């Protein structure tokens, strides 16, 4: 359970699947090392190490958001996809493993 919130739970585990992000036919990310974050009331999310992402395709955004469970997220845009990628540079202790990993709204789990 997440401290202070009855019924709320976040887990971060090493994923077993290969995760890919393809945009307009171009591979943006391809990883067998993604972390899987599961959070009550939210879709499963894959956090990909930056070494497995074509970061040259990302443009930094001024957007930030705050999650009381994870911390403050920074965003990047892909060509024709504003704020499609985010990361927690200084996540809360409960999810420290996702620090610096990148998360995409749309991923393909290859199995």
Nearest to 21 by CA among 89, 86, 65, 71: 86
pLDDT in tens, 41-67: 999 999 999 999 999 999 999 999 999
> What are the CA-CA distances from residue 109 to residues 8, 40, 52, 67 (Å)?
26, 21, 15, 25
Dist CA 10 CA 5 (whole Å): 11
The whole model's pTM is what? 0.91
pLDDT in tens, 15-25: 999 999 998 88
Contact 68, 35 (CB under 8 A): no
Domains assigned to the chain: 10-109 (2.170.150.40)
DSSP 8-state code for residue 53: B
């Amino acid at each position: 359970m997440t401290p202070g919130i009855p019924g709320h739970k976040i887990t971060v585990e090493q994923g077993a699947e290969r995760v890919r992000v393809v945009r307009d036919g171009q591979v943006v990310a391809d990883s067998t090392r993604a972390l899987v974050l599961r959070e009550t009331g939210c879709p499963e999310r894959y956090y990909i190490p930056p070494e497995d992402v074509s970061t040259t395709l990302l443009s930094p955004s001024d957007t930030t958001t705050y999650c009381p469970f994870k911390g403050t997220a920074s965003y990047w845009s892909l060509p024709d996809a504003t704020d499609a990628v985010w990361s927690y540079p200084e996540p809360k202790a409960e999810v420290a493993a996702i620090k610096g990993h990148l998360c995409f709204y749309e991923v393909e789990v290859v199995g």
